Structure 1
Amino acid sequence: MKKYLSLIFLVAFSYNAVAQMSFEEQDSLNLRKLYDMSLLNGKSYAWLDHLSNKIGGRLSGSVNAAQAVEYTKTELEKLDLDSVWLQPVMVPKWTRGAKEYAYIQSADSPTTTVNITALGGSVATPETGLRAKVIEVQGLEDLAHYGREQIEGKIIFYNRPMRADLIHTFEAYGGCVDQRYAGAQEAAKFGAAGVIVRSLSHKIDEYPHTGSMSYGDLPDEKRIPAAAISTKDAEYLSSMLRLNPDLDFYYKMSCRNYEDVESHNVIGEIKGSQFPDEIIVVGGHLDSWDIGDGAHDDGAGVVQSMEVLRLFKESGIRPKRTIRVVLFMNEENGLRGGNKYAEVAKKNRENHIFALESDAGGFTPRGFSFDASPSQFKKIQSWQSLFKPYLIHYFELGGSGADIGPLKGGNTVLAGLRPDSQRYFDYHHAATDTFDAINKRELELGAATMASLVYLVDTYGFEQVPEKEILK
């Protein structure tokens, strides 16, 4: 009897081992299929070519943004998804106007023109421009050191660079983005006439990098013009100030803010065959800044997300759960699209189990960061070996993405695709963020990597986590 029971146990153990092996083999084969299809017959690069070269920069509220909405909706409809629709959202409308102009003038040296670009949301300078003395600071905290008596009527020059010793470039970006976002608001409180901010990039070149800024609750009459200056010209201005602190800086901008206008999130989905009420979201943001064509930020994320659904359709993999692509509008200067999507999802009591965002450029994928509970992350880590053949090694707890952030809460797992970031801030928000900076193979590898993670989440799902583990 004992021998008989041992035999039964051995057979059962062997069966489970074979079954487990077959699951792993099947997963491996399906991931291989997704990678092959993206690399051999992908659509992401062609889609991005159109977005970048036929439409161009897609600033919220612009004609180009509206064209991008119609184009991506039409392309999603061609994929024969179960549903494609537009979700209305009100967005800010800001225009840059005529090209900005700036120069440095010193009594003992010739006038030198420099490269600047208005920050998104800035007010204009006076029609004749703004000319004033300059005070260089290394951050917002330096303003109190000078006080109103020294700052009033002057231009504040924020010149804290991105730290070069930080391997994670987004950490370096986070360490100085407050100068760009809140620099004008804080300087205005001390009576400054305007602000110039060092571009957020490790690269020393002549291309200024724009980005969003805020005046907080400052009344209109106290708002001052804000511009970014290229890193090369920031270095030059700083060196000139050391030689002559009494020099003048002149700049002219004609940007303008308008009333909000209606735009749209673009949404498409494949309905789940077994658990249609469990929703998996994959997405990127459709808007971009206007001085480039937004190829890396975030045209790459848009087309990679669209490609995820195309790969599922073309491969014949029928998802168990509903997979939804969301192309968010207005991430760059308001996050209105992400907030609207989460608002509607909550109102409709939708059950989002997972959301994945690509908004870090179209470079070689390295892995993912996750906003998940310990038990959820443990399950995710069990899939890591499936990605090793594709040199995807980075599976870490951390941030996810701005647009999917409003979905956080309960059992929802959030994730962000993490490409190699070392070159990202060479292009971020600059005129150099153009289609020719995209590598086709890197873009397609990213799309396949996203599709592979979505496939695994769809196949295995997530169990309810204990109350003490729920991320608030």
Structure 2
Amino acid sequence: MKILKIAFSFLLFINVGARAQDSLMLRKIYDEALVNGECYENLRYLCKQIGPRISGSANAQKSVDWGKSLMEKYGFDKVFLQECMVPNWVRGDKEVGKIINGKEIIDVPICALGMSPATPKEGIKAKVIEVKSLAELEQLGSKMVSGKIVFFNRPFDPRFIETGKAYSAAGDQRFAGPALAAKLGAVGVIVRSLTESIDDYPHTGTTRFIDGEPKVAAAAISTKAANKLSSLLKLKKFPEIEFYFKQNCELFPNVKSYNVVGEIIGSQKPNEFITVGGHLDSWDLAEGAHDDGTGVVQGLEVLRIYKALNMKPKHSIRAVMFMDEEIGGNGGAKYAELAMTNKEIHVAAIESDGGGFTPRGFTFQDISNDGLKYINENWKNLLSPYLIDKLVKGGSGSDVAHLQKLNTAVLIGFRPDSQRYFDIHHTPNDVFENVNERELELGAAAMTSLVYLIDTYGIQRK
């Protein structure tokens, strides 16, 4: 019995010592990020010197060159590009939208949805039919829909505490609504912007059409204009309400682009990888600051902090700047394809694509209950002083999600506070000035801390 007590005391002593060492290391990580962090200045360059980076554009290629050059400057062990083909959709001249209420013409803010075709050169004018869901549209059928402009007007549900859930709940009207309306004979589609904010900023985003099936011009309308149109349609004495819009977008053949990858080689398991990153492409309406310049520079900062603190990881750690998340997802797919081809083992992958706001924690996809229990029992206390201890099951991100095919990685979503993200997301307001430096650096430190814990102790998937 005495021997068992001594053994237990010895193990407890080792465990306490390890926790003290971990606590000290996390403190060093945060000190480096908050005192010497380079996220903010890197983001400033990406936003102000390069700007919007829609897939297939000249600016997207400039951002690839910038990312590769910066990684080489930081002296990462490996820096390389992964070639992928991406869509080349161009918005063209600014869109025009008008509510026509008899003799009254009301100009309203709209913007074309990504991958939408153009209207005819003269634009489209037709009566409007308002729906709140795809099911409602299907129920109306082609007899009611044919020849009309379909107006999808389902707002965000304010009861969701995490706004990403409201985005998901409202999102099908943008993703799939235009294709369904086209099948039913609609001549055009306008979609309420996916935000709870009531303002005059239309939110772009991709819509999906199936090759060989009907396509129709589709645009987002600002929430304030959507409310105005809806209120006019409800007034029975004005049955002549029509909508006019004109957009000039065009889809060109796919072009070559690249993921940008920087790597610190693991000292013990060089062919086992922990990946961090975000997507380099952005929409064309603004600078792509929160979506997803912040994720790109935070992933980069993880490796920079490792270098600055002379940390020697057991596993290889990669920062990946994914290309084409917004329109086609081809960068994430290519990364997973090459990982399979090269027989790489991916232990974990963390995606930052929720903006550069105050970090709250992480969501874990494809993890066992025992694995999540271990994380909360052993890491929660280490992370709680930094207010990043919300460690729950959930989705990861659309780029790293492709790694599910490998069946080895725990996929992780970095979760900052979500309350302001969809006010800015996919709008002209997504600019550098709307990113807070301290919040951005806190996020980079949070991601680095989790990478350190995963590298040190591993992570249990299934």
TM-score class, shorter-chain normalisation, is: over 0.9
AA in 1 matched with 2:398: A
Out of 236-245 and 34-43, give the one that drifted further: 236-245
Counterpart in the other structure of 2:11: 16
Matching residue of 2:191: 197
What CA distance in whole angstroms lies between the structure 2 residues aligned with 1:426 and 1:329?
24
What's 2:390 paired with?
Answer: 394
Q: Work out whether residues 114 and 233 of structure 1, in 8 Å CA contact, stay in contact via their aligned partners in 2.
A: yes
Q: For residues 124-159 of structure 1, give each alpha carbon's deviation from its aligned partner in whole angstroms, at most 9, with x where no partner exists.
A: 000011111100111111123322222111100000
Matched, 1:85 2:80: yes
Deviation per CA, 1:414-466: give whole Å up to 9, x if none.
10100000111001111111111101000000000000000000111136x6x
Secondary structure, aligned partner of 1:175: helix
Alignment partner, residue 123 of structure 2: 129
* Aligned residues of 1:369 and 1:395 also touching (Cα < 8 A): yes
The residue identity in structure 1 corresponding to 2:41 is A
Matches within 5 A, 1:17-32: 17-32=12-27
> Could you tell me how far apart the structure 2 residues matched to 1:89 and 1:303 are?
21
Aligned to 1:53: 48
Counterpart-to-counterpart distance in 1, 2:398 and 2:309: 30
Which residue of structure 1 aligns with residue 60 of structure 2? 65
Structure 2: runs of 5+ lacking an equivalent: none
Out of 212, 229, 232, the position equivalent to 2:224 is 232
Of 343, 353, 376 in structure 2, the residue corresponding to residue 349 of structure 1 is 343
**What aligned pairs does 1:323-402 form with structure 2 within 5 A after superposition?**
323-371=317-365, 372-381=367-376, 382-402=378-398
SS at match of 1:361: coil
Deviations 1:90-116 (A, max 9, x none): 000000000001111121x52110000
Identity %: 52
Structure 1 residue 18: deviation in Å?
1.9
Which residue in 1 is equivalent to 2:411? 414
| CA deviation profile, 1:301-343 (whole Å, cap 9, x unmatched) | 0000000000000011111110011110000011100000000
Which of 393, 399, 406 lines up with 1:403 in the alignment? 399
Q: Which residue of 2 aligns with 1:449?
A: 446
AA in 2 matched with 1:12: A
Q: For 1:253-285, what per-residue CA distance to the aligned partner results, in whole angstroms no more than 9, with x for missing partners?
A: 000001000000000100001111211111100
- Structure 2 CA distance for aligned equivalents of residues 354 and 38 of structure 1: 22
* Residues 128 and 151 in structure 2, CA contact (< 8 A), matched pair in contact too: yes
Q: TM-score, normalised by structure 2?
A: 0.97
Instruction: Determine helix, strand or coil for the equivalent of 1:262.
Output: strand
- Asked if the contact 2:345–2:408 (Cα under 8 Å) also holds between the matched residues in 1, the reply is no
Give the 3-state SS of the residue equivalent to 1:27 in structure 2.
helix
Task: Check if 1:320 corresponds to 2:314.
Answer: yes
Is this contact kept in 1: 2:279–2:323, CA < 8 A? yes
Give ranges in structure 1 of 5+ residues lacking alignment: none
Aligned residue type for 2:400: I
1:134–1:246 contact (8 Å) kept in structure 2: no
Question: Whole-Å Cα distance in 1 between the matches of residues 112 and 197 of structure 2?
Answer: 19
**TM-score by structure 1 length?**
0.95
Q: Deviations over 1:60-110 (max 9, x none)?
A: 000110000010111111111110001100000000000001111121x52
- 2:136 corresponds, among 139, 142, 152, to 142
